[in-house]
Chains A and B, each alone.
Chain A
Amino acid sequence: MMNNRKREIRLGTTYSFPMGIWLFIFFLVPLLIIILYSFMKKGLYGGVEWEFSLAAYRQMFNPNFMRVLVRTIVVSVAATFFTMLLALPCGYAMARSRNQTLLLALIIIPFWTNSLIRIYAWIAILSSEGFLNETLKFFHIISESLPLIYNQGAVVTVLIYMYIPFAILPIFTTIDKFDFQLLEAARDVGANKTRAIISVLLPNIRSGIITSFIFTFIPIFGAYTVPLLVGGKDSYMIGNIIVDQVTKTRNWPLASAFSLILTLLSTLGVMWMMVSSAKERSQSGKKNPSFRQGGNL
């Protein structure tokens, strides 16, 4: 018995090696290279010169860059918020539907098309001679094209479209496991529909909501194709700056510094989300300190 157990444990660690190697080569090493590069002098034709320098971080505190950073945060938070707001009812409807497989397929099918093509499709829909404007004009609802594209609204709309499947799927999986009789129990003791959903459904699918948040917020925060293709000149996000620094300005240390900031800020965002929900959980257990003493008897 004892021997068997030991062997199992040893085998278990062996199994995790490929994963460790993968993470080391494709996550840890690149991250370390980025950190290293951000503290180097920029090379004349791209790359870096092997000399310590804080120039990249000094350049970063340029007001123009700061404006982009703030905008990135605002756009990401807004897009994530609306994505979640739409994903919750979608996930709920899917979990309660009898055609779950069909609905799942409908969510997955768009992935068969390349994301760039899907963004170009949005250009065809939103542009001044696009589908939406022409339809509205055809029915004489408007006489002149609305500015639907090359602005912040277009960026948020397309970002929502791109990332909503990643929000729906985790929410759907947790709601699918949720015992709907709990909602009846809440109604039974006096909660109306809305109240039952807020006080019983939402707390019980918290893990799905957090996963959805992580799956949407991180990629949206680093997005660069969407603002590039459907955004205006005021829609630049950090992702675009990084691409520009690598391909055009050839300032690799600055690109590295921005990448690092991006990683740090998105990690902070996720951690804030997790910590605040953990705090909420522990608070709900402490609401009756006076009673707690009685309970220990």
Chain B
Amino acid sequence: MKGYDVQIENVSRAYGSFKALDDVSIDIKKGEFFSLLGPSGCGKTTLLRIIAGFDSPDTGILLFDGKEILSQPPEKRHVNTVFQSYALFPHLTVYENVAFPLRLKKIDKNLIDSKVREYLHLVQLDSHIHKKPGKLSGGQKQRVAIARALINEPSVLLLDEPLSALDAKLRQNLLVELDHLHDQIGITFIYVTHDQSEALSVSDRIAVMNQGKVLQVGTPYEIYESPATDFVARFIGETNLFEATVVNCDPYEDYFMTTLDIPALNSLVKVTDYDNLEKGQRVSFTVRPEKLKITGERPNKVGKDINLFHGIVEEPIYSGFQSKYYVLLENSTVIKVIQQHANYMDEGPEIDWKDSVFVSWSAEDGYIVEVVDS
């Protein structure tokens, strides 16, 4: 495997009284596609700038393959960056932009020429190479920026929200290309984004950050299915999140069934949980909208592990492949339900505005996010 292991240990960085990074530790493995995900101002860009060498932490250390790197200036680190604003040199053509890193090294001209061609081909930009960046479209600029960052054959590629300035369709295409590129060259990618769907679709692992802290590091599934905190649950995808109190927890009997009292639902809810929780403990409970079932009539069989609620559809949102319903439950709490449209529907979805519906989910589909200290 090419690339570096990147170890970030206890890194903190403050600007005045603002803590941009607060004791952050992350281990990134060789060749991994690793994403730093969080809302703007969460510290992800600061962390990226520290890895690139444009900023240095107040405390903490940074290791590449076990070697301390903070003392090295940016030009000495085997790390290259794809900037959010592309940062292409406006006075140079596409060709010269990509050749720039090599020309700094006084390499033989023919060698430079063949390498520049190779990398421009790699990012599928064989035409327009003698244009200035000002004449290129956003997607083309992005390709030039990627080629320029890769031509030095870095061990780590840093990508700072590289797709945020592009339109949605193009973003999807470039994302897939980035993933292919990563598979092809096999170096460590560190990808900064605030877009959870981008992070989920390409990353090997993700670190979710907020207010300078790392909240959770894990694979996309772990982050989506078992979020570590309320924030992670809300930030990644959509969810229904409730405060709850443990009423009954008997992990060694009853198939790990835990019963929660949820005031917002005015009801007891059953959930499968493997932790040994105490009675009376306060927790956060989440269930993803797509895991809920919505039916016009009361289901025939309701097992003891099924949670069932009755309500009225307040707002149906049809978007082709799925519909999202905001269902107003009897005790005036609104719950989100997503229904996939797997079959052909000639006459539209069966469930409509103001319909009386039943919402249900199995105990296995809910998840206890975290224990709230009280």
Contact = CB atoms under 8 A, between A and B. Distances in A.
Interface of A: 179, 181-182, 184-192, 195, 199-200, 203-204, 206, 281, 284-285, 287-288, 290-292, 294-295, 297
B100 A189 contact: yes
A188 B92 contact: no
A295 B87 contact: no
B113 A189 contact: no
Interface in B50-95: 52-54, 73-75, 79-81, 83, 85, 87-93, 95
A190 B104 contact: yes
Contacts of A189: 75, 80, 100-101, 104, 148-149, 151-152
A184 B130 contact: no
A191 B92 CA distance: 16
A200 B94 CA distance: 15
Q: Is the interface of B mostly helix, strand, loop or mixed?
A: loop
Interface string B249-287: 000000000000000000000000000000000000000
Contact of B73 (A187, A199, A284): A187
A187 B152 CA distance: 13
A206 B90 CA distance: 12
Interface in B158-198: none
Contacts of B355: none
Contacts of A203: 91
A189 B154 CA distance: 9
A203 B96 CA distance: 14
B312 to A, nearest CB: 53
Contact of A191 (B54, B91, B104): B104
A152 B88 CA distance: 45
Interface string B141-158: 000000011011000000
B105 interface: yes
A295 B90 contact: no
Contacts of B351: none
Contacts of A204: 89-91
B241 interface: no
Given A184-B54, A189-B148, A192-B73, A295 B104 contact: no
Nearest to B81: A188
B117 A294 contact: yes
A188 B91 contact: no
Interface string B117-132: 1000000000101100
Contacts of B90: 182, 204
Given A184-B74, A287-B96, 7 more contacts: A186-B100, A188-B149, A189-B151, A191-B104, A284-B92, A291-B113, A297-B127
A190 B101 contact: yes
B83 A291 contact: no
Given A179-B85, A191-B75, A285 B130 contact: yes
